[in-house]
Amino acid sequence: MSASLPVTILDAVFVAEARDVAQMPPAGPPEVAIAGRSNVGKSTLLNRMAGRRGLARVSKTPGRTRGLVLFDLALRVPGKDARQMVRLVDLPGYGYAQVSHADRQAWQVMVEGYVKKQTALKLVLVLVDARRDLGAEELQLMEWLQGMQVPCHLVVTKADKLGASERGILRGRVRGGMGVRAASVSMVSGETGEGVDALWSRIAHVLSQPKGDERPELA
């Protein structure tokens, strides 16, 4: 068995914010998109994953219409000589109580357009708050991604808020709730950094799968 050395982040840079899919820069490194409702801890986790405190603004502007925010990271993956590049794509948060139906539709159009167009997309991290249950939005998103043949990985955030037994219960509930959509699950805390190395190992594993290169562009 190989020793589980952590993935090291060598560099992390902001690339662009695309207001819509047409504005996306040309495809670069393999992409890992991050989705989650507002306040789930996405910015905190992204900063922690990148090892840069201020990379993703920990947004305090609920409902601000936002685009797709792209960051390029250079990784050192244990067992690999060359550095691995990955593009993290921060999808706009959803689930703001105060947004209109039109805003919700705009979110869907943007995210669906992105997933359909972007053949560089290898994995979607679907974030869910440890203190909330898996909602209809998360389930719908995972089901839809499955239909699009895009792998997704469920990430329970703010795990530091839970004790050991609560974690076990939540893990079981989340897995049960996902049913046939059973993706893999990680528990992380952007605040303490717990679980982030394991999450990176999981991502590196998915990126190393050759099959991921074959996803066709969908109409």
Binding site for ligand GDP (CB under 6 A): 36, 38-44, 58-59, 93, 157-158, 160-161, 189-191
Q: What is the dihedral of CA 111, 150, 121, 127, to 10 degrees?
A: 60
Considering the complex, state which of residue 38 and residue 146 has its C-beta at the smaller distance from ligand GDP: 38
Q: Contact 206/125 with Cβ under 8 angstroms?
A: no
Six token digits for residue 43: 């910015």
Considering the complex, state which of residue 112 and residue 194 has its C-beta at the smaller distance from ligand GDP: 194
Shortest Å distance, C-beta 193 to ligand GDP? 9
Shortest Å distance, C-beta 38 to ligand GDP? 5
Shortest Å distance, C-beta 128 to ligand GDP? 11
Please calculate the CA angle 163-169-174 and round it to the nearest 5 degrees: 120
Shortest Å distance, C-beta 157 to ligand GDP? 6
Shortest Å distance, C-beta 82 to ligand GDP? 32
Considering the complex, state which of residue 157 and residue 186 has its C-beta at the smaller distance from ligand GDP: 157
Considering the complex, state which of residue 30 and residue 93 has its C-beta at the smaller distance from ligand GDP: 93
Q: How many CA atoms lie within 13 A of 189 on its CB side?
A: 12
Q: How far is CA 170 from CA 31, 37, 164, 202, 214, in A?
A: 28, 18, 10, 20, 34
Considering the complex, state which of residue 84 and residue 157 has its C-beta at the smaller distance from ligand GDP: 157
Concatenated DSSP letters for 54-80?
Answer: TSS-----TT----EEEEEEEEE-TT-
